[in-house]
Amino acid sequence: MANNTNEFRFKSSTRNAMTAVITQIVMGVVSFVERMAFNQCFISDYLGFYSLFLNIISILSVAELGISVAISFALYAPFAEDNFSEITAILAYYKKIYRTVGTIILVGGLIFIPFLQFLVKTDVPMAAVSIFFVIFLLNTVFEYYFSYKTILFSASQRDYVSTLITNLCRTATYALQIAVSLLTQNFYLYSLCLLTITLIKCLIINLIANKEYSFIKQKPKKLSKESRHKILQNVKGLIAARIGTVISDSTNGILISAMVGSSILGLYSNYQMITLGLLGFTNILPSAITASLGNVGATESNDNVAESYKYIDTCFFILYALISIVLVNIINPIIATFFGVDRCLPFSSALLICIYFYIRNVKHLFNTYKSSLGLYWYDRYRPVLTGLSDLILSICLGRFLGFNGIILGTIIAYTFIDLWVEPLIIFHNGFHASSRKMIAKQMIRLAFVICMMLGTSYITSEIPEKGIISLSLRLVVSIITTSIIFFILFHKNKYVKDAYKAVKRYLFKDSSLI
């Protein structure tokens, strides 16, 4: 029985990861071409609008309060037990809440429109800016109204289904936007492409969910008080997390637009396109194994769960560090080569963006374990403290250092709060063990990554930034240099050896890996 469970976990995680990787590659290539077309056809202010609207809507989406995470956690046990009536009841509850949230976001967004003029520094007429914002707002509202069944795939360890649909639809959106950009250079039509494909995606997800989980068509029973209590308790724990995350992740764009200008935010959005695309790759494996980790946490001892964390943490640190160090050497050359030298930010800005990228990856791994172990309640204060600290630091430093100060404020808040508190929560409340070594390890790792970024940047500094050949040379030199150092440091590490053995077992189709 245990072997069958391990096999199912492994197959689910592998299928989820492989689907995400393949579709992410296709989507990444098309999105990059789309951004090249955008930079050719529209001024940087429009890129700034795009980023600003996403940040504003993220703040409005605070009404969601992490409900989807709490509901997903509540569905793990019913799916493991094939308790279809409980699944149907939870889904009906989720639908009701999500449509209420969608309505709140719609009303809040419409109320917010008159205040856009205080956040946008641009020569584009405000009437046009408001229309663009409404289109983006409706896109988000439709997601809340019609895509709630996506959670069924996640809770049943079949993320690959929703991932495939979502990434294919995003690819279609990018392709359509490329055509519209080049043929019409009309930002209204460009924005409507997103809305159109979103509706198609929601329709596809609903049709497949109704077919794959036909039992949800039955009239749902009323969710028990006990189940509602558990969900609401986790939601209460997630309220602070959601608010703190929104403050940290969404206010940077608003601050850049208001304090520095929409055009600078537009330049930054090109860097975000690259870093978010890479985040899509680096977060595939943690996201793919979330449900499996939840299953492990529910069925195995704390020692086994803690050991799995140390193993996964070591492997992902190497991955995150390698990518971040290489990225700092090639991100400006990518921008200069494909978008134009005039779209580049200074090296100091690129360095801060890459440090921020590394920390966001580490935080995603923390979130994966907190989600799989249901540790939301214990984490309820940390995000608010981080978010407020981030906001205050970014405003203060932004007044003196501009763009760099805003990003630096976020890095400082994450480093001295999140990289300390989140390991403490995971180890103390999840594994019932000391977190001192892990916290110290996170600080040492961050310092090491920054030193490696500066060191490899010095090595590649004589290579020109613009041109495919120069870009390729920088990429090769930074990969070789970083790989040699990491091999020297980690080739005898216990968890690295275990990962190597796991890869060998996978190649020989041995599925007892998780």
Handedness of CA 319, 370, 430, 388 (dihedral sign): positive
For 281-310, give the DSSP string.
HHTHHHHHTHHHHHHHHHHS-HHHHHHHHH
Alpha-carbon gap, residue 35 to 40, rounded angstroms: 8
CB 222 within 8 A of CB 38: no
Alpha-carbon gap, residue 250 to 316, rounded angstroms: 25
CA distances from 44 to 180, 258, 366 (A): 17, 15, 35
Q: What residues does each domain of the chain span?
A: 2-507
The pLDDT assigned to 83 comes to 80
Alpha-carbon gap, residue 481 to 325, rounded angstroms: 10
The region that residue 353 occupies, defined by phi over 0 for left and psi between -120 and 50 for alpha, beta otherwise, is: alpha
For 8, other C-beta atoms within 10 Å of its C-beta total 15
Alpha-carbon gap, residue 370 to 377, rounded angstroms: 10
The pLDDT assigned to 340 comes to 82
Length of the chain: 514
Average pLDDT per block of 10 residues along the chain, 514 residues long: 50 61 71 76 71 72 63 75 81 83 86 81 76 86 82 74 80 85 84 87 88 83 75 66 66 81 82 82 65 52 68 84 93 88 89 94 81 71 83 92 93 91 82 81 93 92 85 91 88 72 58 43
The pLDDT assigned to 410 comes to 92
Provide the whole-model pTM: 0.69
The pLDDT assigned to 236 comes to 66
pLDDT in tens, 386-412: 888 998 999 999 998 999 999 999 999
DSSP 428: I
CA angle 481, 483, 486 (to 5 degrees): 110
Beta carbons within 8 Å of 186's beta carbon, 6+ residues apart:
180
**Which tokens go with 256?**
């850049």
The pLDDT assigned to 445 comes to 92
The pLDDT assigned to 406 comes to 93
Alpha-carbon gap, residue 239 to 231, rounded angstroms: 12
Alpha-carbon gap, residue 127 to 486, rounded angstroms: 53
**Which tokens go with 202?**
């929601």
**Which tokens go with 229?**
């209590």
H-helix segments, 113-224: 126-146, 150-155, 159-184, 187-212
